[in-house]
Amino acid sequence: MFTVTLITNPAMILDPALVRALRDAMGGGEAVWLDRNGAAEFAVPKLPKSLTEIHESLSAEGVDMIAQPSAGRRKKLLLADMDSTMIQQECIDELAAAAGIGPQVSEITARAMNGELDFDGALKARVALLKGLPERVIGDVLAARITMMPGGATLVATMKAHGAYAALVSGGFTAFTEAVATKLGFDEHRANTLHIENGELTGTVAEPILGRAAKVAALDDLSARLKITDADVLAIGDGANDLGMLTRAHLGVAVHAKPVVQAEAPHAINHGDLTALLFAQGYAKAEFVIR
C-alpha cells in the first residue's frame, strides 16, 4: 500500500475538488485532511506509471506531491542540510557580500550547488577569496543577514517530540551551524571549520572537507548509533552535494532545490514550507509542536 500526500504553500488553499479528482483517477481510498486548508492524503494500492507527469501537473497548480510506501512513514532521524534548506541564505555568499566580493563568490556557489563544479575545489576557491576578513564579520552576518527557513523550528520540534533525532549536516561552516543548530533545536551539527589566526580568516579550511561523501558517512554513522536503517531516515537538502544522502534515505526530499537535484532526488517540495515534511510523514497540523 502507498500513501499520496498533497501539500500547498501555507498561504494557499488546497482545492478539495483537485484532491477528489486525483484520488479517483488513482483509485485511492478516502481522503484524510491533515490540514483543512493545505494538506490531504489518501492511500492507493499501487502508484501509476505516470507519476512524474502527475507531479509536474500538480506543481504547475502550486501543489507538492509526495508518494511513498504507507508503512514506516514517521522517521526516526532528520538529517538536514543548512544553507538554503534550514536557513534562507548561503553563508559563504553572505560573508563574501560583507567583504565586497559577493557576485564573484555567489556565482561559484550556484555552479557548485548545481553540480557543475567539484564541491571540494569550489569551497577551497571561495574560502581563499575571504582571506583577511575579520573574524567578527561572522557574528555580524549571523545577526544581520541569516534568517531561518519558515517551518524549520516546528519540523525539528515535532519530530523530536515523537522520539526522532535531529542532525544538521552542512557543507558550510561550524561557525554558523553551531548557532543555527542551537536556535532550531538540533541534537548535533557537523560542518567544515574555517582557519582563523590573529582575528582574521586565513583563506583556508580544515580537511577533510565535509562534502557529499561525508554527508552519506554521517547518515551511516548516525544510523548505526541509533540502531536504525535507511528506512527510518528523512534527509533534506537543496544542492548537488546533498544527493548522496537524499538517494540513500527512504524519504529523501529536495527542498526548493537546484534543477539537477530535483531531477535526481526521490521527492521534492517546491511550494510548501518545511512543515510540508511533517505532512509527508502523516502528521496532522494538530500534532505540530509550533515553534
Domains of the chain, with CATH numbers?
1-71 (3.30.70), 75-291 (3.40.50.1000)
- For residue 259, pLDDT beyond 90: no
Residue 181 CA neighbour count, 13 Å, CB half: 23
Distance from C-alpha of 188 to C-alpha of 186, rounded to nearest angstrom = 6
pLDDT tens figures, 165-182: 999 999 999 999 999 999
- Average pLDDT of the residues in 150-163: 98
- Average pLDDT of the residues in 107-121: 92
Give the predicted TM-score (pTM) of the model: 0.97
Q: With contact defined as beta carbons under 8 Å apart, do 92 and 129 qualify?
A: no
**Please, what is the average pLDDT of the chain?**
97
Q: With contact defined as beta carbons under 8 Å apart, do 174 and 188 qualify?
A: no
- For residue 215, pLDDT beyond 90: yes
SS3 assignment for 23-52: HHHHCCCCCEEEECCCEEEEEECCCCCCHH
Active-site residue numbers? 81, 83
Q: What pLDDT, on the 0 to 100 scale, is given for residue 90?
A: 97
Distance from C-alpha of 193 to C-alpha of 138, rounded to nearest angstrom = 13
290 to 16, 205, 243, 274: CA distances (angstroms): 25, 37, 29, 12
Q: Which of 114-118, 121-125, 237-241, 273-277 has the lowest mean pLDDT?
A: 114-118
The residue among 266, 291, 289 whose CA lies nearest residue 278 is: 289
Distance from C-alpha of 289 to C-alpha of 291, rounded to nearest angstrom = 6
Q: What pLDDT, on the 0 to 100 scale, is given for residue 86?
A: 98
How far the first Cα of the chain sits from its last, in Å, is 33
Distance from C-alpha of 123 to C-alpha of 248, rounded to nearest angstrom = 24
- For residue 85, pLDDT beyond 90: yes
Q: What pLDDT, on the 0 to 100 scale, is given for residue 238?
A: 97
C-alpha cell at 125: 576557491
Q: What pLDDT, on the 0 to 100 scale, is given for residue 258?
A: 85
Helix, strand, or coil (residue 76) = coil
